[in-house]
Amino acid sequence: MACAYSSILPKFDASLAKKHPMRRRLVAGNWKMNKGYREARALFDYLNDTARDMPAEVDVMIAPPALYLSSFAKESTKKIEVGAQDVSQRREAEGAYTGEISASILNSAGVHYAIVGHSERRSYHGEDDELIREKIRACIDAGLAPVYCCGEQLEDRDSDRHFDVVRKQLDTALKDFTALELQKLIVAYEPVWAIGTGKTASPGQAQEMHAYIRKVIGERFDTDFAAAVRILYGGSCKPGNAAEIFSGEDVDGGLIGGASLKGEDFVAIIKAGL
């Protein structure tokens, strides 16, 4: 059954795409569990060295393994911000929670973003949107910007349930917040079937879902707030497809996995964000 919403959307036309003036582009690199210290340092140095060539209009964030966060946050140029790949759901700043890193500890180390609800955390660590809501709450309490990941599995898309799945994720994760509390919220739409698979959502599929996410946020809060929320695309985004994907009216940049591990590729994607 075709989704009713997709039939009322205008056909995707990149040449007509216009961005909301309040939304700055953001290209974020999720390094995942990659790079020993020397390699990580070399990539970080490369990015710092090329920061001056990156477009002023595009914000840049990297999320290296947690061990490197504090030193990278201290040493990065203003252009490159540093974010955590995950955060504890504990709202306490400190406590007896072995292995956890609180949002407050991240903030104290100069880290101002945390990715929450990445599909790999969902599938390998059993995270669900109830837990992810607590992580968003912990970020907000500590002044971090949560990068909230949502997205459907392949079988959801194949059975035309992708809009419903994403709506349910958003409804659960954003329940009980006010728009004021969510001023720093960033959403990343990451269709699970596109993460690390080389398959990418088409620019039309990405734009369609981003518009839908904005609509859901508008219904839950208000349309002015929804218009200002940045929504990133993630899933096999590369130098060769980034510009086209980013050209969607509601696509405000990307959350990049594999291609953020090569300096030249990541910088090319940042440039495509212009």
Q: How far is CA 23 from each of CA 33, 34, 35, 168, 271, rounded to the nearest angstrom?
A: 30, 30, 32, 25, 17
Q: Which residue among 88, 236, 241, 247 contacts ligand PGA (CB under 6 A)?
A: 236
Is there a catalytic annotation at residue 190?
A: yes
Examine residue 235 and tell whether it contacts ligand PGA (CB under 6 A).
yes
Compute how many other C-beta atoms are within 10 angstroms of the C-beta atom of residue 128. Answer: 12
> How many CA atoms lie less than 13 Å away from 230 in the CB half-sphere?
24
Compute how many other C-beta atoms are within 10 angstroms of the C-beta atom of residue 15. Answer: 5
Instruction: Give the CA radius of gyration of the chain.
Output: 18
Compute how many other C-beta atoms are within 10 angstroms of the C-beta atom of residue 153. Answer: 16
Among the listed residues 118, 152, 208, 210, the single catalytic one is 118
Q: Which residue among 237, 269, 270, 272 contacts ligand PGA (CB under 6 A)?
A: 237
Q: Which is nearer to ligand PGA, 203 or 234 (CB)?
A: 234
Only segment of 98-106, 163-171, 189-197, 205-213 that touches ligand PGA (CB under 6 A): 189-197
Q: Which residue among 146, 203, 248, 257 contacts ligand PGA (CB under 6 A)?
A: 257
DSSP state of 273: T
What is the phi-psi region of residue 99: left when phi exceeds 0, alpha when psi lies from -120 to 50, beta otherwise?
A: left
Among the listed residues 120, 152, 190, 208, the single catalytic one is 190
Only segment of 19-27, 105-113, 235-243, 264-272 that touches ligand PGA (CB under 6 A): 235-243
Return the beta strands (E) in the chain as ranges.
25-30, 58-63, 80-84, 113-116, 145-150, 186-189, 230-233, 253-256
Contact pattern for ligand PGA over residues 24 through 53, marking x by CB under 6 A: ------x-----------------------
Q: How far is the CB of 199 from ligand PGA (least distance, A)?
A: 9
Please, which residues have CB within 8 angstroms of residue 215's CB and are 6 or more apart in sequence?
226
Examine residue 196 and tell whether it contacts ligand PGA (CB under 6 A).
yes
Is there a catalytic annotation at residue 118?
A: yes
Residues in contact with ligand PGA, counted by CB under 6 A, come to a total of 13
Examine residue 64 and tell whether it contacts ligand PGA (CB under 6 A).
no
Active centre residues (catalytic): 118, 190
* Sites of contact with ligand PGA (CB under 6 A): 30, 190, 195-196, 234-237, 255-259
